[in-house]
Structure 1
Amino acid sequence: MSVWQWLFLLVAGVGGGLTGSIAGMASLVSYPALLATGLPPVTANVTNSVALITNALGAASASRVELTGQKSRVLLLVPAAAVGGVIGAVLLLTTPDGVFEKVVPFLIGAAALAILVQRPPRELAVEGAVAQAHRPRRHTWGLAAATCAVGVYGGYFGAAAGVLMLALLLLATGETVPRGNALRNVVVGSANGIAALGYAVFADIAWWSALPLAIGLFVGGRLGPRVVRRVNGTVLRRVIAVVGLGLALQLGFQAFG
């Protein structure tokens, strides 16, 4: 790996970390950056999953204030997401490379559309708070099952898993956006982390590519919660979604061309 490729992945990691905090789609930046350095799709995906661990660590370490009082949710949802991550990792490792390459454009396109049509998180938070006030009891096991399902997707590929998880948590818990976002980072990070451990043992990881990307993702993850607290991310999410659609088309032409 050249010095320029190392620096490129470092910068891409910072951008991916920020994108993950704003739109829950860090892989929109980090995954194509790995492809641009010449890695094949499956190797790029598993390398990306390993590097994303530091993004979750950075975001969680910068969100301790927002995580206060959410210990019971963390203890319930992290194992559920981890189980989903294991299932997703097994699916990826048993999927032929050619099939994965053809599936990825559709996953990225669907993720971008999810961001584009998603209602603003603040609206979801208000709706969740109203619903929570009128619920006769907490539907904790239903939330755990839904978290596991999102974890399966996160373990397999993960683009916009954070979008789905944030919407789920805001509607189910009635928390504010910063607190829901902090919980999202921990839960999605656990699904990705357990999948990454499996990839580290059973898959071919490009470790020299993972290192600069991981450093950048950690920095971006640390900065991200501060951005979420201060910036209305609606316009930024739409820009990210449009870029994601363009990337999906590009990868689609490469896979089917």
Structure 2
Amino acid sequence: MTIWEMLAVFVAGISAGAINAVVGSGTLITFPVLLATGVAPVTATVSNALGLVSGAISAAIGYRAELAGQRRRVIRLSIVAAIGGITGAALLLTLPSTAFETIVPILVALALVLVILQPRIARAVQRRRELKGEPEHPDGGVLLMVGLLLASVYGGYFTAAQGVLYVALMGMLINDSLQRINAVKNVLAAVVNSIAAIFFLFVAEIDWTAVLLIAIGSAIGGQLGAAYGRKLPPTALRALIVAVGTIAIVQLLIRRFG
């Protein structure tokens, strides 16, 4: 890499770390930049996943106040996310690169619709439970576990917009504030990125310059994103998720069909 390419990757890492802390989809910033510097697609995906681990951890630390009282929930969901993450990482090295690209924009679009409708859906689910006398699942129940497993398989494979999927699923099935759900999302992203990174260390080709630049940048960005993202009211946070998710869909479609 030239010095200017290294600077571009570093700045992309800061931007990705910040946007991942608040919404997700930071990979759609770093991944194209890595490709533009000449890194091969699979190597770029692997190096990006490794680099973003520090950003995800940084964001989770930034949201530590919102994580208070969620230890049991985080542990249970993290186990599911880890299983999905390592499965997705293995698929990255065995499936053709286009395997997920057709279905991903559809998944993200569905997630955005769910984010928009989340307050209504959550209230409807709560009323249904009250009418049937069903106990509330503090961790979302089996349905959330299955959804998170599938979302984490995708996250281990590519990571782009996995945060949108997490927020949509948890927002529907967990009765809690959007900021606290966002805090859990950051932990799950850290788990998936970390487990995939460990897997990649042993089996994949890695661009260590890119990893270092993204790691430092995303760690800085994670703190910046958490500092400002925690102050957003639920409506503004939901609007930001939808805006970023829409941009993600456009980029994914361009990458797939452009």
Name the TM-score, length of structure 1 as normaliser: 0.86
Identity across aligned pairs (percent)? 34
The separation in 1 between residues aligned to 2:27 and 2:92, in whole angstroms, is: 16
The separation in 1 between residues aligned to 2:3 and 2:206, in whole angstroms, is: 19
Contact 2:115/2:167 (<8 A) preserved: no
Contact 2:118/2:168 (<8 A) preserved: no
Which amino acid is the alignment partner of residue 227 of structure 1?
Y
Between stretches 119-128 and 209-218, larger displacement belongs to 119-128
1:113 aligns with: 109
1:248 aligns with: 252
Distance 1:142 1:198, change over 3 A: same
Contact 1:107/1:159 (<8 A) preserved: no
Which amino acid is the alignment partner of residue 222 of structure 1?
Q
The separation in 2 between residues aligned to 1:104 and 1:43, in whole angstroms, is: 17
1:123 aligns with: 119
1:203 aligns with: 204
Alignment of 1:22-171 (within 5 A): 22-95=22-95, 99-100=96-97, 102-103=98-99, 105-106=101-102, 109-110=105-106, 113-114=109-110, 116-120=112-116, 123=119, 127=123, 130=126, 134=130, 135-138=134-137, 140-171=141-172
Superposed CA RMSD in Å reads: 2.6
The separation in 1 between residues aligned to 2:127 and 2:53, in whole angstroms, is: 33
Contact 2:77/2:145 (<8 A) preserved: yes
Which amino acid is the alignment partner of residue 161 of structure 1?
Q
Residue 38 of structure 1 aligns to a residue in which SS?
coil
Which amino acid is the alignment partner of residue 127 of structure 1?
R
The separation in 1 between residues aligned to 2:122 and 2:147, in whole angstroms, is: 20
The separation in 1 between residues aligned to 2:13 and 2:173, in whole angstroms, is: 31
Contact 2:161/2:248 (<8 A) preserved: no
- How many residue pairs match? The answer is 250
Deviation string for 1:88-143 (max 9, x for gaps)? 11111112xxx30x346435533553465343487379638946973424253443
Name the TM-score, length of structure 2 as normaliser: 0.85
Unpaired runs of at least 5, structure 1:
none
Which amino acid is the alignment partner of residue 71 of structure 2?
K
The separation in 2 between residues aligned to 1:253 and 1:145, in whole angstroms, is: 30
Unpaired runs of at least 5, structure 2:
none
Distance 1:241 1:180, change over 3 A: closer
